[in-house]
Amino acid sequence: MTRQLGPLAMLGVWAALTLTGALYSSWLGYGGRAFAATLTAFAFFFLVMLLFAARDVENVLTAYFGAGSGYLLGVAVFLVYLIYALGTNTFAFTRAAAVAGFVFIPLALAVSAGLRPAGCWQDFLTLAGIWVAVKFSPSHWLWPFPGGRLAYVFTVLLCVNVALAGFVLLRRVNGIGYSIGWGRRWSFFVLASFIVFACIAIPLGMGMHFIQFAPQWREWKSLPFLSLGILFFTAWPEEFLFRGLLQNMLARASKNDLAGWWTASILFGLSHITNTNFPNWRYAILASIAGFFYGWTWRKTNSIFASALVHAGVDLTWHFLFCTL
């Protein structure tokens, strides 16, 4: 049994996190019309990302609007981008056209898939496009304010919103595990996955001269903010893409759960081969092993929240206790 957060509780989480971010930004000196437009866009994208993880939100939306809920979300995402662009005085037709493509091409692919089972070519093409958008799109050009510092976060949030519109509302893919809650024996699965992976990855990474033990004790004061940032803007989106969607649909397409699990893990590792110096095979190997454990956690809990906790724990440990060679 899984105890999932309800909509009101999730709204409280969203309000607390958004207000904290707004107050911190104000303390840093941000303000005015551009800041208000940026905060509005962030608040909307972040709300959609969190609210869909609450109990029954998806079912309520589709009950009221049917497939139209996916179109409405897509239009809303694009309009919010326009609010950001106009409010920050960074609007350009080329930027607006690029964002329109990011939003509406995946939705068009979802519509073209019709009633085909999850795992058709349109689904995999959409996943590849989302990954390319996060990895290689000119995010600093699309989100220039403030100084491009939020470009990655906004790109990730935009892609998560589009994926929710396409796969959750339009395609109605089952078994994603897009929820925030807790279930029986989840503590065991999360801790076991993290500990066993650490026992493998640390000696392997040091043996390959990829990492070395170098604790950053002076940075521990940033732990709360960094933990939330890694969880929501790195671990959660990647687990949604690679476990909830890719591993899920590979298993369906191949009719083999193990094949979907292993293939998604290897693809997850290969997606990191461009990090730092290409081709970074050491990173790809360790990321593939990590993907294996994240995928195992997702399979055992049927929740990307559980696998995202393991993922975030790995990234935080790496950041604070090790450095990359």
From CA 225, how far away is CA 229, in angstroms rounded? Answer: 6
By C-alpha distance, which of 129, 160, 133 is closest to 46? Answer: 160
For residue 220, the model assigns a pLDDT of: 87
- Residue matched to tokens 């989480």: 13
Over residues 63-77, the pLDDT tens digits come to 889 879 999 999 999
200 Rama sector, left if φ>0, alpha if ψ -120 to 50, beta otherwise: alpha
Percent of the chain with pLDDT over 90: 88
Q: What are phi and psi of 76, to 5 degrees?
A: -65, -40
For residue 1, the model assigns a pLDDT of: 61
CB under 8 Å to 279, separation ≥6 — which residues? 273
pLDDT category, 325, cuts 50, 70, 90? Answer: confident
For residue 268, the model assigns a pLDDT of: 97
Over residues 230-278, the pLDDT tens digits come to 999 999 999 999 999 999 999 999 999 999 999 999 999 999 999 888 8
* Burial state string for 146-157 with b = 16 or more CB within 10 A and e = fewer than 16: eeeebbebbbbb
Among 87-91, 122-126, 146-150, 268-272, whose mean pLDDT is lowest? Answer: 146-150
pLDDT for 85 beyond 90:
yes
Mean pLDDT value of segment 293-301 = 97
Whole-number mean pLDDT of the chain? 95
For residue 277, the model assigns a pLDDT of: 84
pLDDT for 221 beyond 90:
no
From CA 116, how far away is CA 110, in angstroms rounded? Answer: 10
From CA 265, how far away is CA 246, in angstroms rounded? Answer: 10
